Amino acid sequence: MPRRRPLDRLRALCLALPEATEKLAWGSPTFRVRDKIFATFSEADGGPEMWCKASPGGQEVLVASQPERYYVPPYVGHRGWVGVRLGGAPDWGQVADLVEESYRLTAPKRLLALLDP
């Protein structure tokens, strides 16, 4: 069975969330809920990467713990977003947790209720 590309894996995680959509912006896929971005994907010089929102303090903890995997992205890093390098062998369970956390920070309460039956 061939390995899935990072974008395909990220897309599956994001679009599994209630009312999540994908929209091309700035030449890259963005994942949104009610037209608010909760994750982006790009193929940078360093390889595939994702940006997503992090809980207060989360960005600092991730970047300090694994600076080779996590970083402060340009443009939105000052708002607490975290960049995740998806090349090599990322922990897809951790990526899934980060995607869900970002979604929870973005989605309206009515949709969050669908995650926690």
What confidence tens digit (pLDDT) does each residue in 4-30 have?
799 999 999 999 999 999 999 989 999
pTM more than 0.85: yes
Q: Is 47 helix (H, G, I), strand (E, B) or coil?
A: strand
Q: How many C-beta atoms surround the C-beta of residue 28 within 10 A?
A: 14
- Rg of the chain in Å (alpha carbons): 14
Residue ranges and CATH numbers for the domains of the chain are 6-87+94-107 (3.90.1150.30)
With a CB cutoff of 8 Å and minimum separation 6, the contacts of 96 are 13
What is the per-residue pLDDT across 77-95, written as a single tens digit (0 to 9) for each? 999 999 999 999 999 999 9
What is the length of the chain? 117
